[in-house]
A and B are shown apart, each in its own frame.
Chain A
Amino acid sequence: MTFINYAAREINCKIVYYGPGLGGKTTNIQYIYDRTIQGAKGKLISLATESDRTLFFDFLPIELGTIRGFKTRFHLYTVPGQVFYDASRKLILKGVDGVVFVADSQEARMDANLEAIDNLKLNLRDNGFDLATLPYVLQFNKRDLPTALPVDQLTRELRIKDEPIFEAVASKGTGVFDTLKAAVKQVLIDLKSR
């Protein structure tokens, strides 16, 4: 649900990073925070456990610039990856404009990826959204690990429509901004078509 504020001449959209636990959702957001200039970003809020696992969400507001005289602001959220925080994950999807799914490329995490996609579909439906029509980008993270599966195989198993796919090594920043840019583009095109 986009928020267009004519009084402040700004538009606010919400993008949620979703995916299995320890897949690199927070690392994506952290890299965006580190590489975004002061003034174009707000505070990075992390509601995490003592061991740095996301407990509720991470939140990062960024401002991308102006379109037709309107400031374009994006609120980036991550969800907790761990299954037992599912109730929290559902809450974060409220009012979402676009989703980035951060998949873990490692073979051992394939079941967790598939489970998280099914869970995403379900939680979106409970919030009144349909993944088939929602702006959506798929990221294959951890491409640098020797245990990473080939991209073809990941694509075959995880792609659910014609969503753009990006290979990433979020810890080094590879693919992080490409993924974000694709998500932003889809959200804005979706907004245009309404």
Chain B
Amino acid sequence: MSAADLVIMDEDHRRFADVLERLRSDANANLTFLQDRNGQQIAMAGVVDNIDTTSLASLTAGNVAATDGLAKLIGEKEFSILFHEGENEHLHISVVASRGILVVLFDEKSSLGLVRLRVKKAGAELGTIMDEVTEREQSRQISGTGGASPFSEITDDDIDALFS
């Protein structure tokens, strides 16, 4: 495997959600959203009534991956911030701790400057938590003490039942 699996415990989720909620409030944003580079959503804060967050995460990951490819083509390591400006809603996308992506959705109640300012601090906090989560999982896998996995005892019957 090229990277450790991403394993989020209740406590991790609470810490991520706290930072995201604070960011949402400080930046006057409608939605703050943390996912990994593979398109898996991790935590969010805000209103998601009309938004398909699974699609949002997948497309954002594709967007960041494609932009990474562009960066490398011109000799840059990455473009760490992407900004999409719509008529009413805007998306601010930034890379945190190399494997995470922070998405902020905002409208005219906020501004790009404010979002950028708040994202800087929140991104660093989220990055720290993410690094801790990654290190914990890596050391678990290396030491073989990943006994917390609920899947170590799944049976063929469990798998077959998924398709019944």
Contacts and interface: CB of A to CB of B under 8 A. Distances in A.
Binding between chains A and B:
yes
Interface of A: 1-8, 11-12, 14, 42-43, 45, 47, 56-57, 59, 61, 64-65, 67-70, 72, 75, 87-88, 91-92, 94-95, 127-129, 177, 181, 184-185, 188-189, 191-192, 194
A70 B163 contact: no
25 contacts: A1-B2, A1-B3, A1-B6, A3-B5, A4-B5, A4-B6, A4-B149, A5-B42, A6-B10, A7-B9, A7-B10, A7-B14, A11-B151, A14-B38, A42-B52, A42-B54, A42-B55, A43-B55, A47-B62, A59-B39, A59-B59, A75-B40, A88-B66, A185-B159, A191-B154
B163 to A, nearest CB: 5
B97 to A, nearest CB: 15
Interface of B: 1-10, 12-14, 36-40, 42-43, 52, 54-55, 58-59, 62, 65-66, 68-69, 141, 146, 149-154, 156, 158-159, 161-163
Main secondary structure of the interface of B (DSSP, over half): mixed
Nearest to A187: B159
A65 B161 contact: yes
A52 B10 CA distance: 42
Contacts of B37: 94-95
B162 A59 contact: no
A91 B10 contact: no
B8 A7 contact: yes
Contacts of A189: 159
Given A7-B8, A94-B65, A192 B39 contact: no
A54 to B, nearest CB: 12
A95 B150 contact: no
A193 B38 CA distance: 22
B66 A1 contact: no
B12 A59 contact: no
A127 B2 contact: yes
Given A5-B13, A8-B13, 7 more contacts: A2-B6, A42-B54, A57-B62, A67-B154, A181-B163, A184-B159, A188-B151
